[in-house]
Amino acid sequence: MSPYSLMILLLCLSSAAYYLGKKKAFAVSADVGGARQLHSRPTYYGALAARWCGIPALILFAGWLGLEDHIITGMVVSELPETLQNLPADRINLLVNDIQNMVTGNIVSREVDDVMRAAADHYRHLQNISSAALAVLVLAVGIGGMLWVRSRIVPSLRARNHVERIIRYLLIFCSTIAIFTTIGIVLSVLYEAIRFFHAVPVTEFLFGLKWSPQMAIRADQVGSSGAFGAIPVFAGTAMISAIAMLVAVPIGLMSAIYMSEYADRRFRDAAKPLMEILAGIPTVVYGFFAALIVAPFIRDAGTTIGLDVSSESALAAGLVMGIMIIPFVSSLSDDIINAVPQALRDGAYGLGATQSETIKQVVLPAALPGIVGGVLLAISRAIGETMIVVMAAGLAANLTANPLATMTTVTVQIVTLLVGDQEFDSPKTLAAFALGLVLFIVTLLLNVIALHVVRKYREQYE
Amino acid sequence: MADPTHSDPKLISREKRKTVGDITVDNPRMTCRNVNVYYGEKQAIRNVSLDIARNEVIAMIGPSGCGKSTFIRCLNRMNDTIESCRVEGEIIIDDVNIYGRDIDVVPLRAQVGMVFQKPNPFPKSIYENVAYGPKIHGLSQSRAELDEIVETSLKKAGLWEEVKDQLEHPGTGLSGGQQQRLCIARTIAVSPEVILMDEPCSALDPIATARIEDLIDELREQYSIVIVTHSMQQASRVSQRTAYFHLGDLIEVGKTTDIFTRPKHQLTEDYITGRFG
């Protein structure tokens, strides 16, 4: 039986368990004076039966599928002739790969001999046994669980508490998935980054001024020595993010102030959704907007006033990134300004403060921590932004303070280092992980600070 | 005339809701004539006329939603901050109609200060809270002068002794009663002539309430005070005149002692004897 039909069968079985459990609950309650005498509502007894039917069977199912391959492979290998078993481990791996390819009908890398054919047959045979055994076991566990719960249904069974506990475990499980994924990603990046730091010292990476991630394949190749000083890359990220924030923070903040303090409701109702459309544009669209319209425009404008602007400039990327972030800043600030209690504004107006005095001296100072938090979140967004800079900022790692020059960012370098076929034992590729690690740490710090600031602000008016 | 109140036997007809008692005083500080207030389509205040005397505390009482808060918010045009609100009629202070065409609300609100129901100190230091008004109105030339204003205001509000060593601490860190006295000090600091108080004690415990009531009594020597309150005991303790509002109408005005002992209007009597409210 295929895993899919088994799953569907299991679902049907769980539904059946639900009805049986519920029916049993009604049946046992009839003896003691109706469903009101049950500890929990009848549906909880059904739910309990369904869960005991489904969950253990599912766990068994998942565990089986996880281990099946490993066990079958081990059994096939142990059946191979002596001569083959004494091969080194990587050769055996290749052999097993071939056997598996034969079983699934893929292309095989060597001559097919009788030994292999026998092994493949054996493999297929074991697979069949395994899937049959799995089906039997899963159904047995499911039915067993259902019957076990059903036999235990008495009016005093605290079914609701049991069901709620199971649901709570489920919730805990779901909430930890994100955490474990994060830990997993961090560890994998960290592991590769450490490999990189074996080849290139940390200090050279963090403080070196030249970025040229080439590695020679042969010793006599031109440009055989790579340079992995990441300062120009970080500088590019900092420059472009700074330009973006210079665009986004004033425009976003001022539009938030207008929206929340001055605009009448009709304008706000119309304008806010329009601004949020800006946030919904895919970054790749911003990317070609930057590369095809903004960058040439800046170059032409620069040429007319006698400036030498490269066709891929930090300015163009930064400007467009800033526009992308405007709705982010404005809607966060808008929320925070709106959260300032009306009582504070009334207090200021009651003293004869004008609207602008009230906004500048009472509302904004009260909202400032929250706004700072929002801006920090926006910065970490800008630092991590990839698509716009890939398309508009360029690849050359120039260490310059001139926004009209081509610059590159951490994210662009990661993309270029990892796109295409890469070998994972050269510092060139591993450098991407080191860059990613630094990027991760920076944005993590910014986010932690920002969230802390925002939370502190929220507590102020409780 | 189609008057919806006729169809409802619980309500009393228009004729019977004309103001009873003397709305005028000699040499009034503020004069309100035929004030109507609308929130969008809904009328919140109908044809209210009332004088506010100098150096008196006048209490506004009445059941919730009767328009007493709306009325006092007209006196310094705080209703301007509510988009749908529209005010008709005349409110005169110093021979000027504050709803006249060329009136700037900024000096008006300095002249007619307001204390709110919930203490609302700014999230600044105690000193800055009190100094804020004088600063924006340029009432002081030097830091020393400002210090002086802050100290006097806090003393008048009866808060100085409690906070003089912690003027740099945030105003929001004070207790509820202290915060309300801070707000009163803040209002006094711009030297208003009239102080509006919108249920200033409703968020406070009895001890803090007693302190504020004593303070109101002292402040009467220098200011006219209009206080909205839900507590009839408070009205009888602090005020010299009382105005009873009912569903947007000013029903009865008179000396506080008269209102509470010999109310002339049936509605007033029903309210103060606790038949509704």
* Model pLDDT for residues A126-150, shown as the tens digit of each residue: 888 888 888 899 999 999 998 888 8
* pLDDT band for position A104 (cuts 50, 70, 90): confident
Q: Tell me the shortest Cα–Cα distance from A266 to chain B, in angstroms.
A: 12
Which tens digit of pLDDT belongs to each residue from A347-396?
999 888 888 999 998 898 888 888 888 898 899 889 988 888 888 887 87
> A352–B114: do the CB atoms touch at under 8 Å?
no
- First-to-last alpha carbon distance for chain B, in angstroms, is 29
Query: DSSP secondary structure string, B125-170?
Result: BHHHHHHHHHHHTT--SSHHHHHHHHHHHHHHTT-HHHHTT-TTSB
Whether B253 is in a domain gets the answer yes
CA distances from B101 to A31, A264, A375 (A): 83, 22, 42
The predicted pLDDT at position A430 comes to: 85
The predicted pLDDT at position B9 comes to: 42
- Whether residue B93 is predicted with pLDDT greater than 70 in this model: the reply is yes
- Whether residue B8 is predicted with pLDDT greater than 60 in this model: the reply is no
Whether B95 is in a domain gets the answer yes
Mean pLDDT of chain B, nearest integer: 87
* Probe site for chain B from A345, A346, A351 (most B CB atoms < 10 A): A351
Query: DSSP secondary structure string, A430-447?
Result: HHHHHHHHHHHHHHHHHH
Diameter of chain B by CA atoms?
Answer: 65
Whether B97 is in a domain gets the answer yes
Residue in A265, A349, A361 nearest the CB of B109: A349
Whether B62 is in a domain gets the answer yes
Question: Shortest CA distance to A55 belongs to which of A24, A1, A88, A14?
Answer: A14
> B190–A351: do the CB atoms touch at under 8 Å?
yes
- Whether residue A125 is predicted with pLDDT greater than 70 in this model: the reply is yes
| Lowest mean per-residue pLDDT among A160-169, A300-309, B7-16, B86-95 | B7-16
| Lowest mean per-residue pLDDT among A77-81, A199-203, A243-247 | A77-81
Average pLDDT over residues A319-338: 90
> A365–B187: do the CB atoms touch at under 8 Å?
no
The predicted pLDDT at position B2 comes to: 43
Which tens digit of pLDDT belongs to each residue from B129-142?
999 999 988 888 89
Average pLDDT over residues A209-233: 71
The predicted pLDDT at position B1 comes to: 40
* pLDDT band for position B7 (cuts 50, 70, 90): very low
> A362–B122: do the CB atoms touch at under 8 Å?
yes
Residue of chain A nearest B123, judged by CA positions: A366
The predicted pLDDT at position A451 comes to: 82
Average pLDDT over residues A242-246: 94
CA distances from A369 to A255, A332, A446, B123 (A): 18, 12, 14, 12
**Three-class SS state of B98:** coil
Boundaries of domain holding B38:
16-125+194-271
> Which class is A227-459 in CATH?
mainly alpha
ipTM (interface pTM)? 0.84
| Lowest mean per-residue pLDDT among A116-120, A405-409, B231-235, B268-272 | A116-120
Average pLDDT over residues A295-305: 88
Whether B100 is in a domain gets the answer yes
**Domains contained in chain B, number:** 1
> B109–A352: do the CB atoms touch at under 8 Å?
yes
Q: Tell me the shortest Cα–Cα distance from B276 to chain A, in angstroms.
A: 30
Which tens digit of pLDDT belongs to each residue from B176-230?
889 999 999 999 899 899 999 998 888 788 888 888 899 899 889 989 999 999 8
Tell me the CATH number at B50: 3.40.50.300
Parse chain A into domains and list their residue ranges: 3-157, 227-459
- Whether residue B5 is predicted with pLDDT greater than 50 in this model: the reply is no
DSSP state of B22: -
